[in-house]
Structure 1
Amino acid sequence: MIFANIEYLFLLLLLIPYIIWYIMKRKKTEPTMQVSTTRMYMNAPKSWKLYLLHAPFLLRIVAFVMIVLVLARPQTTDNWQNTEIEGIDIMLAVDVSTSMLAEDLKPNRLEAAKQVAAEFINGRPNDNIGLTIFAGEAFTQCPLTVDHGVLLNLFQSIKCDIAQKGLIMDGTALGMGLANAVSRLKDSKAKSKVIILLTDGVNNRGDISPLTAAEIAKQFGIRVYTIGVGTNGTAPYPMQTYAGVQYVQVPVEIDEQTLTQIAGTTNGNYFRATSNSKLKEVYQEIDKLEKTKLNVKEFSKREEDYEVFALVAFLCILLEILLRNSVLKKIP
C-alpha cells in the first residue's frame, strides 16, 4: 500500500499537543460537588461507567487518525511499467547420457553440473536463458526465458534415467544437441548469443556432425563455450547388479579435439572440468561478454483503498456521540 498524498500524515503530529492538553485538563478539573472527605466512598463498588470515562477521548483520537489516512489517499498498486534491462541470450546444452552418472565429480557429473549451472542462472537475473538436453537424441527442455524459477525447476528435474528407461536413445549426439540449441537462438535480436555445451564423451550418434553444427552457429553469430567433464584416466561408475550397486572403473574418453574446434569456430573457449571449481571458470568468462538491452513491458494500475479507514472514522464518531449523550452524559 502507498499514499498518494503522504504529506498529510504529518497532521498526526497534532495528536501530541492534544494528548498533553487532555491530561492537563483532567488534572485541573474541579469536582461538581465538593465534600470534606471521600473516605466513606473508598470501599464503594466501582461502576462500569468508570471504565468508559476515557472512551470518547480514545474514539476521537482513532477517528482523527483514520481521517488523516483518508486524506493521504491510501492506494493499492500493481506495478507494471516499460523498462529496459541489460542481458544476453544463453542456451545451456547439457549431456544426459548414462555416462554422466560417473562419480569422479561429486555427487556425480550430472548433479555437479546442475549445481554449478544453477548458481550461474541465479547470478544472471537479467538474461534470457534456455535449456537443451541431449544423449543419442536432443530436445529442448526449456526455451529462452527470463522466468528463472521455471527454468531451475525444469533443470533440477533432468536425470540420466531418461536414457536408461529408453525414453531417448543413449549415446552422445554432440551435433544434435548443438543444433537444437542453435535453433532456439537463431532468431534472437541480442548482440551477444551464447551456447554452453557440456559433455563427457565422444560424438557417436546423430545425423548432424558437431563441426557442421558449429558452422551453423557461426553463421548466426552464436558463440559456443564447450566443457569436457571428467577426470583424467578412469572414473568410478555405479553398475546395478543382482547384489546391489557395484562400482567399476571406466576410462574417461572426451573428444577434446572436436570440442576445441567447435569453440574455435565460433570464437568461444574450451574448458576441461575435472572438478566442480573448474566448471565455474566458464561462467566467469561469460560474465565478460558484451550485454545488450532487452525491453520488458509492464503495466501500472492503482486503486483507491480508503473505504475501510473512512468507515472506521465514521463508526468512532458515531459511537462517541452515542456515549456522550447516553451512559456518559454529564448533568451540570
Structure 2
Amino acid sequence: MSFVAPWFLVALLLVPAAAAVYVWWERRRTRGAEPWATAPLMPSVTRGGSRRHRHVAPAIYLLAAAVLIVALARPQHDVTKKIEQATVMLVTDRSGSMRSADLKPNRMEAVKAAASSFLDQVPAQIRVGALAFNQKTKLLASPTTDRARVKNALNTLTGAGSTATGDALAAALAIVRPQGAAGVQTPAAVVLLSDGANVRGRDPIALARRAGRLKVPVYTIALGTDEGTLTSKRANGTTKTERVPPDREAMRQIADASGGTTSDAPTTEALQAVYKRLGSAVAEQPGKDQLTSLPVGIALVLLVVGAGVSLRLTGRIV
C-alpha cells in the first residue's frame, strides 16, 4: 500500500497530542472540583457517568480523527487493470537466419503460426500492427482491430538479408508514439522477435531506453537454438553452413532498458507458449486503485458510534 499525499500522515502526531491534552484537562478539572465536593459527591460535580465510561466517546472521536487523516493521505494499492484502448506492434525479424530449420518446419513458418495464435489471444478492442525487418524495415499492417489483415500480412514473410533491430524499433515507436512524449498517451507495447544480433543501423539499446521513457515496454523473444544452422550457396556454386544461434543477451538488454520482459523460444511449442502469454500480458497494465472511500466510511461510522455512546453516557454529543 502507498499514499498519494503521504505528507498528511504527519498530522497523525496531533492525535496523541490531543489525547495528552484531554488527559491533562480532565485531571485539572477533577482537581478543581475536589475543594468543593466530598468524594461521594464527585460523580455529581463532574460529567455524568462513571469516570471510566465518560472517556469512551472521546477515545472514539480521536480514533475517527486518525482514520480521517489517513483518508486525507489517499491510500492506494497496486492492481492490474484491463486496457480498454491500446496499440501493440509485432516487430518480426525476417533476416536470412529465419530460414534455419531448428524450429519445424523452419523459424519463419513457426513465427507465422505462433503470431496467428497471439492475435487470437489479444482482446478484440486492442489494435495490433506488424513490422518486419532485415537490413530494411517494412510496415506490413498499420495498427488495426482487423486480425485477418494482420495475419495475411505476416503470412507473406520470407527470410533474407541481415539484421537492423534498432531501425525496426525506431519505426515501431514512430507508429505508436507519433508525437513523441507530447499529448495524451494511450497504452502501447512492442513485441520484438529476433534470432540474431544487430549488425547495422541504429543502436537498439538506445531505442529501447527511449521506448522506456515513452512508456512503451518492449517484450522480446529470442528465437531458435544454439545448434541452429543456415546453409547457403556461394557465388562459385558451393555451399556453406554457418551457425545462427539467437542473441539472448541482446534481447534481454532491450527488454530491460524498455521496462519489458524477455523470453526464450528454443522450440515451436515454446514460441507458441510465449505468444499466448504475451497475448494476455499486453492487454493489462499495472495501476493503482485509491482506497479513500474505505477510511472515510470507517471514520463516519466511528463518529456516529461516538455520538451515540456520548449521548447514552453523558446526555450530550460532545
| Closer, same or farther: CA 245–103 of 1 in aligned 2, 3 Å | farther
Q: 1:252: how far off?
A: 2.9
2:248 corresponds to: 256
- Cα distance in 2 between the residues matched to 1:241 and 1:209: 30
Q: Describe the SS at the equivalent of 2:228.
A: strand
Q: State the 1:119 CA deviation.
A: 1.1
| Paired residue type of 2:170 | A
Provide the secondary structure at the position in 1 that maps to 2:217. Answer: strand
TM-score (norm 1): 0.54
Structure 1 SS opposite 2:129? strand
2: CA distance, partners of 1:245 / 1:111: 26
Aligned-residue offset at 1:235: 2.1
Q: Decide which structure has the larger Cα Rg and report it.
A: 1
TM-score norm. by structure 2 comes to: 0.56
Where do 1:37-48 residues align within 5 Å? Answer: none
Give, as a single letter, the amino acid of the residue that structure 2 aligns with 1:224.
V
User: Aligned runs of 1:11-22 on 2, under 5 Å?
Assistant: none
Looking at structure 2, the residues matched to 126 and 105 of structure 1 have their Cα atoms a distance apart, in angstroms, of 32
Structure 2: gaps of 5 or more residues: 1-82, 286-318
Alpha carbons of 1:236 and 1:260: their partners in 2 closer, same or farther (altered >3 Å)?
Answer: closer
Q: Name the CA distance, whole Å, in 2 between partners of 1:241 and 1:93.
A: 30
1:48 aligns to what? Answer: none
How far off its partner does 1:249 sit?
4.7
User: Which one-letter code corresponds to 2:218 in the other structure?
Assistant: V
Root mean square deviation, CA, Å:
2.7
Could you tell me which of 170, 188, 198 is aligned with 1:193? 188
Partner of 2:145: 146
Measured in 2, the distance between the counterparts of 1:288 and 1:137 equals 29
Following superposition of structure 1 onto structure 2, how do residues 67-106 of structure 1 map, counting pairs within 5 Å? 86-106=84-104
SS at match of 2:84: strand
What displacement does 1:155 show?
Answer: 1.2
| Post-superposition offset of 1:289 | 4.1
* Partners of 1:114 and 1:98 in 2: CA distance: 16
State the distance in 2 between where 1:95 and 1:290 align: 23
Matched pairs, number: 197
Higher helix share: 2
Please report how far the alpha carbon of residue 126 of structure 1 lies from its aligned counterpart in structure 2 after TM superposition: 2.5
Deviations 1:128-178 (A, max 9, x none): 000111101212111111111211111111212xx4xxxxxx211010111
Distance 1:209 1:202 in 2: 11
AA in 2 matched with 1:139: K
Q: For 1:86, what is the secondary structure of its paired residue?
A: coil
Q: Supply the distance in 2 between the matched residues of 1:291 and 1:131 (Cα, whole angstroms).
A: 20
Aligned to 1:288: 281
Secondary structure at the aligned position of 1:140 is classed as strand
Paired with 1:277 and 1:245, the residues of 2 have a C-alpha distance of 34
Deviation at 1:255, TM superposition (A): 2.6
Is residue 221–residue 265 contact of structure 2 (8 Å, CA) maintained in 1? Answer: yes
Q: Aligned ranges for residues 52-201 of structure 1 at < 5 Å?
A: 86-124=84-122, 125-160=124-159, 163=160, 170-187=161-178, 191-201=186-196
SS at match of 2:163: coil
CA contact (8 A) 2:107 2:224 kept: yes
2: CA distance, partners of 1:103 / 1:190 = 41
